[in-house]
Amino acid sequence: MTNQAQTDILHEKYNKLRAILASYGSVAVAFSSGVDSTFLLDTAVDVLGDKAAAVTAVSCSFPKRERDEAQEYCKAHGIRHYIVESEELDIDGFRHNPVNRCYLCKKELFTKLKDLTAREGIREIAEGSNLDDNGDYRPGLLAVAELGIRSPLREAGLGKEEIRLLSKERNLPTWDKPSYACLSSRFVYGEEITEKKLSMVDQAEQLLIDLGFRQVRVRIHGNLARIEVLPDEIARFSDETLRRSVYEQLHGFGFAYVTLDLMGYRTGSMNEVLDRQAVSAGRT
């Protein structure tokens, strides 16, 4: 396939997205300030004008820097912006971090968003999952389907890299932004999620970002921190001064042990154990 053909297909998908959003009449976009939701919000505003709004859910699982970026973006572009307090730690069973944790959280969150949009007279709620999300374990998408939340990026057939390309075309600042996710995703399944541990992870990841690491995760296993960075940045830890500084600061945040994952950053690494458990179960 030629580059021109690929470009034509990309723009066909983008036009399909625009048509989908136009059909809504009015929409509230679940906005985290990430790559996907920023692109979706930008397109929704371009299509629907002031009939498009942003809704950001804030909680101890949502990094403050992301909340600040969401607020700054909407203010700079004159977009109506609602803030909803999410209370996932109060959801029955959530703190125990079951494998359907994301389902519990999304159901609580989008139920609140449906109440808000009903009060404000907004017809639809749209969330930013893309076509690539279909390939990972995403129990939150079940709650999205059950509650009738729209997923226009998936419906238009857009994947992550396509969204980045279109974002670059539209001069969006997030086109090359690293991927982030809820801090609760850093916990091994079955480990209790607490405000203190969420804060430890948030501080640890912010430290690594401030040190210039582009894509980071700090996974928590009890009192052990497992650091994931991009494979080509792993070598930076050969610097004794940096390595010791990271260790001492994470130790100060509350971690007893600090390790570096030799495979580097990858999405859904906490789901790898689920895959192994499924294989083991199939053999018995």
Distance from C-alpha of 89 to C-alpha of 57, rounded to nearest angstrom: 14
35-48 vs 3-24: helix crossing angle, rounded to 10 = 60
The pLDDT score that the predictor gives to residue 96 is 92
Question: Quick one: pLDDT at residue 50?
Answer: 97
pLDDT at 113 over 70: yes
**Does residue 136 carry a pLDDT above 80?**
no
Which pLDDT value is given to residue 35?
A: 97
CATH 3.40.50.620 region(s) of the chain?
3-169
Q: Report pLDDT for 281.
A: 39
Amino acid in the structure at residue 271: N
Distance, in Å, from the CA atom of 108 to the CA atom of 129, rounded to the nearest integer, reads: 17
Residue with tokens 């001492």: 248
State yes or no: pLDDT of 268 exceeds 90.
Answer: no
26-68: per-residue pLDDT in tens? 999 999 999 999 999 999 999 999 999 999 999 888 898 999 9
75-96 pLDDT per residue, tens: 999 999 999 998 888 888 899 9
Higher pLDDT, 139 or 65: 65
Q: What pLDDT score was predicted for residue 279?
A: 33
In this structure, are residues 39 and 28 in contact, taking their beta carbons and an 8 Å threshold?
A: no
Amino acid letter for position 120? E
Question: For position 276, what pLDDT does the model report?
Answer: 47
Domain 183-283 CATH class label: alpha beta
Say whether pLDDT at 277 is over 60: no
pLDDT band per the 50, 70, 90 thresholds, residue 170: very high
Single out the residue of 110, 60, 112, 66 nearest to residue 89, CA to CA: 60
Higher per-residue pLDDT: 280 or 223: 223
The answer to whether residue 194 scores a pLDDT higher than 60 is yes
Q: What is the mean pLDDT of the chain?
A: 92
Sign of CA dihedral 229, 234, 239, 243: positive
pLDDT above 90 for 240: yes
Signed CA dihedral, 263, 268, 269, 273: sign only: negative
**Contact criterion met (CB below 8 Å) for 79 and 28:** no
What's the CATH superfamily of 3-169? HUPs (3.40.50.620)
pLDDT (average), residues 181-193:
92
- The residues that are catalytic are 182
Could you tell me where in the chain the CATH 3.30.70.2210 domains are found? 183-283
